[in-house]
Amino acid sequence: MSIRKISLPALFISSALFLGAGLTACSDDSSSSNASETDSPTDPGTNPSDEPGKTAPETKDTTFLTPDVPTPEGGYSGVLVGTCEKGPLKSGSAVILQDLSETDLAATGKKTSATVTDDFGTYSLQYSGFNSFAMQEASGIFLNELTGDQTGSVTLRSLIRAIDGDTANVNVMTHLEAPRIAYLMKESSMSYAEAQGKAESDVLRAFHMQNFMVPARKLSVFGATEADGNLLAMTLLLLAENASSDMQAILDAVAADIEKDGTWDDEATKAKIADWAYLQRMDDLSYYLENMGTGIKLPNFEQKFRTFWFEAFGLGVCDSTNQGKITTCTNPLSQYSTKEFVCADSTWRIASASVLQNREGVELFGECTDDMEGTVKEGNEKTFICKKKKWNYANEAELLNIAVSAKNGACTAANNGSVLQHESSYVLCQNSTWKKLDSQPVDYSKGRAMNEKLGPGINLGNAWESQGQKGASADCGWSNCIKDEYFKIIKDAGFKSVRLPVRWNYDAAKDAPYTLDAGRLAGVKADIELALAQGLIVIVNFHHYVELNNYAVYYDNNPGGYDKEKARFLGMWEQVAKEMDAYGDDQIVLEILNEPHEMKNKFVDDLMLSAYEVIRKNAPGKTIMFEGNGYSKFAQISNVKLPADGNIIFSGHYYEPFEFTHQGHGYDCGYKLKDSDISRVPSHFKAYVDSATTHFPDINGGHIPLNMGEFGVSGQYGSCGGNGPSDSDRAKWTDAVIKAATDNGMSWQYWGLVGVGGFEAYNKNSNQWYTELQDVFNKYL
């Protein structure tokens, strides 16, 4: 903000500057009229009629300077205490008290000083032998209430009177009224009490504030009264968007403007402050002051602050009597000039397009009521729709829904998920609305059939994806070898599928043709055949491919490293696909890459789609499973690119909230399952399904098949030594998640059968299922 430079009146030039003193008697505007400020009394000893044609010369009446109480012999002595506040002045700031003559308010040369003792602006100052009037001045660095900085400096003044007590705060209001008080005393022959009351009323009126009849010298930005709220609001408004270094200029400019006629005439500056004030959040304005110490509570300033810009914009009051009223900003100097504002929740806000549209609709059709919900009307060459008791222009999506509904019937629960061709595009019925599809629907019947066969399943994790051993015994790297009998145990429990995570890259060749380790391949195939012998469907993937993931994350540092590792990934997939193609297409699902994370989405798409091409070429009939970024979060389905292939499945992992499921695995032990954790599960899965339906719809209705490839909870004795989730909470969470997946047509594989870290469902030591989990599984198997 640009502030014009001003010269202070003669009263303030020299050393007669001071801060922080308050004033006693306050009067309202009736205490003095404009006429009293301009009429000059004639000399009572001269009669103008004695000399015809001549008027008596004007003389100054100095009786106004006579103290209300005679100055005692030897002058006044005492101690002044108070605070110095713009924001509060920092410890070490200077406080000076300058004695003034009782005949002309000129500095007598006598003065005394002290320093601020803390960062709240506190001071104590002794004086002796002073006349009735004095100028108080405080100078130093202040707290910028808007930024929290303590870099700007300011000098604040206050014109005080000795008989008004020992409390003398120096603040913005005392500074603004001081020159006005002096002017009224010197030029309008007012007593100090009258002048102080009049000056304070003038200052408050300039900011559209109510006069609570409390002298400024007794106010503080940390006070508790409504009058203190005036001071805080005024202080914040004057700081506005000014840098701390501009503070002195704005304070002095406003004080000089008010001095002679009691009005603040700088409309341009007021408009700039009002424009800034409109944008402010009250919490932001008070943050730094409230956090100066414990127990601080600021005075009520919010509505006083708002009233300034209400009035500056010409909007007037906004309260319970005119909620919803729309008014135009009439201030031509404001950047919001001619903007329409609506009164809502006791403040004015620029009326949104929705508010203005509703007004137009009400004028055309009357109020939008509950029984008119969904009603469509034509008017002013616009299509209006009544929604939630407001008229709005129907947008493109709503117009589409109206057109499709007129031709094919409304979208209802009965046809939810159905897909229709409308003109040159396709539309989807979802959540009672026909929506345009951005992608071409696909016939996912092959993928859906395979997904149904996968049904409920379980992971055989912490085995072939482990580290420590290579070759045929690589599944034992974490002392969690897959035993032959596990497959019958899984089958007998009622599961339909197993997921085999494999770290193929761990012992494959580094260079082309990236030959797979024969022992690992033979071991994985042996387990596949044991599963197939039990009638279980098998998902085979690439798991824990840390090197490839890291090359993608740090691609910019080493593009060549990514390209080389990607070539290895594809070379290994070519071999795995050929080996898996020997099994029936209804027996094996190939999952491209487990849990890509922290890389850009374009690299997820690059790896997935490149591997898809290799797999489809070498295993043309197999169902292929895709995953998204963020450790395979379901929500990533909106960010992936998928081929128009009907024999694919999208797989996601669910471990929400991780604070519960992963205690001891990067999260603190002791988190107790909350009812809200359970109640949110259905809405999460609905969102996943809605996203899948929107982005990858099935031509026959519905969406791409969805699989939940991992979910589970680390138990109390996993990595938490008995302080993890209880068996009952573990079962409660698992039940809620399986139900949500099942209700939404997902296949799923629990993590896992046996393992490390407490995630197992089957105790390999006692050869028994965990009872609570088994009870849950039995509900869905």
pLDDT digits (tens, 9 = 90+) for 190-215: 999 999 999 999 999 999 999 999 99
Higher pLDDT, 415 or 533: 533
* CA distance readout (Å), 517 to 470, 472, 510, 531: 8, 9, 11, 21
In three-state secondary structure terms, 198 is helix
Mean pLDDT of 19-27: 33
Q: How far apart are CA 538 and CA 527, in angstroms?
A: 10
* CA distance readout (Å), 420 to 275, 398, 404, 543, 690: 51, 16, 9, 39, 17
DSSP string, 524-588: HHHHHHHHHHTT-EEEEE----HHHHHHHHTGGG-HHHHHHHHHHHHHHHHHHHHHHTTS-TTTE
Instruction: Please say whether the beta carbons of 603 and 552 come within 8 A.
Output: yes
Mean pLDDT of 546-551: 97
- 113-156 pLDDT, tens digit per residue, is 999 999 999 999 999 999 999 999 999 999 998 888 888 899 99
User: Is 44's pLDDT higher than 70?
Assistant: no
User: Is 373's pLDDT higher than 90?
Assistant: no
Start-to-end CA span in the chain (Å):
71
Instruction: Please say whether the beta carbons of 231 and 216 come within 8 A.
Output: yes
Q: Find, among 455, 752, 717, the residue nearest to 589 by Cα.
A: 455
> Which of the 8 DSSP states describes residue 473?
G
User: Is 680's pLDDT higher than 60?
Assistant: yes
Q: How far apart are CA 397 and CA 679, in angstroms?
A: 31
Residues 6+ apart with CB under 8 A from 731: 772, 773, 775, 776
| pLDDT score, position 566 | 98
Per-residue tokens: 9: 């009146």
- Say if strands 588-591 and 623-626 run parallel, antiparallel, or are unpaired: parallel
Q: How far apart are CA 119 and CA 128, in angstroms?
A: 27
Helices (H), 696-781: 727-743, 771-780
Q: Find, among 553, 568, 565, 561, the residue nearest to 603 by Cα.
A: 553
| pLDDT score, position 718 | 73
- Say if strands 588-591 and 537-541 run parallel, antiparallel, or are unpaired: parallel
Mean pLDDT of 423-433: 88
Which of 351-360, 516-525, 631-640 is least confident? Answer: 351-360
| pLDDT score, position 67 | 52
Helix then strand count (H, E) for the chain reads: 22, 25
Read off the pTM. 0.56
Neighbours of 670 (CB within 10 A): 12
Q: What residues pair up with 156 in beta bridges, in sequence order?
A: 138
The one-letter amino acid code at 760 reads: E
In three-state secondary structure terms, 499 is strand
Q: How far apart are CA 360 and CA 344, in angstroms?
A: 18
Instruction: Please say whether the beta carbons of 417 and 429 come within 8 A.
Output: yes
Instruction: Please say whether the beta carbons of 226 and 215 come within 8 A.
Output: no
Instruction: Please say whether the beta carbons of 258 and 264 come within 8 A.
Output: yes
| pLDDT score, position 417 | 83
> Which of the 8 DSSP states describes residue 333?
T
| pLDDT score, position 757 | 72
Helices (H), 153-246: 172-187, 192-206, 226-239
What SS3 string covers 680-695?
CHHHHHHHHHHHHHHH
Residues 6+ apart with CB under 8 A from 780: 456, 738, 739, 742
What are phi and psi for residue 763, nearest 5 degrees?
A: -85, 105
Give CA 112 to chain center in angstroms.
50
What are phi and psi for residue 279, nearest 5 degrees?
A: -85, -5
The one-letter amino acid code at 570 reads: L
Ranges of beta strands (E only) in 658-714 are: 706-711
User: Is 60's pLDDT higher than 90?
Assistant: no
The answer, yes or no, to whether the previous bond of 215 is cis (omega within 30 of 0) is: no
| pLDDT score, position 242 | 67
Q: How far apart are CA 68 and CA 504, in angstroms?
A: 99
Confidence of residue 68 (pLDDT cuts 50, 70, 90): low
| pLDDT score, position 58 | 36
In three-state secondary structure terms, 354 is helix
Average pLDDT of the chain to the nearest whole number? 89
| pLDDT score, position 29 | 37
User: Is 469's pLDDT higher than 70?
Assistant: yes
Per-residue tokens: 102: 């009782």
Mean pLDDT of 568-588: 98
| pLDDT score, position 294 | 83
- 80-113 pLDDT, tens digit per residue, is 999 999 999 999 999 999 999 988 999 999 999 9
Geometric angle at alpha carbon 710, from 708 and 715, rounded to 5°: 135
In three-state secondary structure terms, 598 is coil
Per-residue tokens: 182: 């002096």
